[in-house]
Structure 1
Amino acid sequence: MSNVATWFEIPVKDMPRAKRFYQSVLHTDFKDEDMGACQMAIFNCEAPAVGGMLVSGEHYEPNRTGAIVYLNGGEDLSQPLQRVAEQGGSVLLPKTPIHDGECGYFAHFLDSEGNRVGLYSPT
């Protein structure tokens, strides 16, 4: 296995609101699917990238204290972090260097649903 992480799911309460939030912040699109009572919006990505989705349904409760998913923040974290605030989220931890920037940078934000989510950038 080349990646430690293989899939992620971000719980949401309001799927249209959450999709608008992530489409704006990450400049991404989704493939919508339903599985039983679960509503899903799968992030577009190309193999062999690790994929994931927004999901709404029983047993999916947004929160800010659980595991943190780190999404690709592109080359400059300041841009998606600015869009977080514009879309009604909030920055919890600004762009922070990892080992003085030698290992990249990360940030945390609170999304439109109340989840704490991370961003990562190599520069």
Structure 2
Amino acid sequence: MKHNPVVWFEIHVTDMARAKAFYEAVFQVQLNALPTPPGDASANGMQMLAFPADMNLGGAGGALVRMEGAPPGPGGTLVYFGCEDCAVEQARVEQAGGRVHQAKFSIGEFGFCALMVDTEGNMVGLHSMK
């Protein structure tokens, strides 16, 4: 593999409006609607809201996704969002309707992490170097 392994992520949700409000509040960004793929996906009411991304920069783009048969919840993939200082985003979690699962903690030379649970029951990580 000659690139970073993650190129896209999807966070599955049940209530798109609630999840949109949570992520916009925690990360202070605006999510934008993505067109659904043609075929069966649009027939089953799939919705996608993308996080801001620049495909010319490093890291992965991603979206919130509401889709029949793909419920949110613990035990799935854990996505880590890069932050300047993850304590800043962590401080917004509860006011936005989520909960802090594990407050900011050191991972040694690799920086710091915090774990939160969003309004849909997904565990999501925050990572920073300070």
Report the TM-score when normalising by structure 1: 0.91
Give the distance between the partners of 2:35 and 2:19, measured in 1 at CA: 16
> Counting strand residues as a fraction of each chain, which structure ranks higher?
1
Task: State the number of aligned residues.
Answer: 120
What is the aligned partner in structure 1 of residue 103 from structure 2?
94
Counterpart residue identity of residue 40, structure 1? M
Percent sequence identity is 38
C-alpha distance after superposition, 1:84-112 (max 9, x if no partner): 0111110001111112xx21111110001
What is the aligned partner in structure 1 of residue 24 from structure 2?
23
What is the aligned partner in structure 2 of residue 105 from structure 1?
112
- Match status 1:80 vs 2:89: yes
Report the TM-score when normalising by structure 2: 0.86
When Rg is computed on C-alpha atoms for both structures, the one with the higher figure is 2
- Match status 1:53 vs 2:60: no
Give the distance between the partners of 1:29 and 1:19, measured in 2 at CA: 9
- Match status 1:40 vs 2:48: yes
Note the aligned Cα RMSD (angstroms). Answer: 1.2
Unpaired segments ≥5 residues, structure 2: 37-41
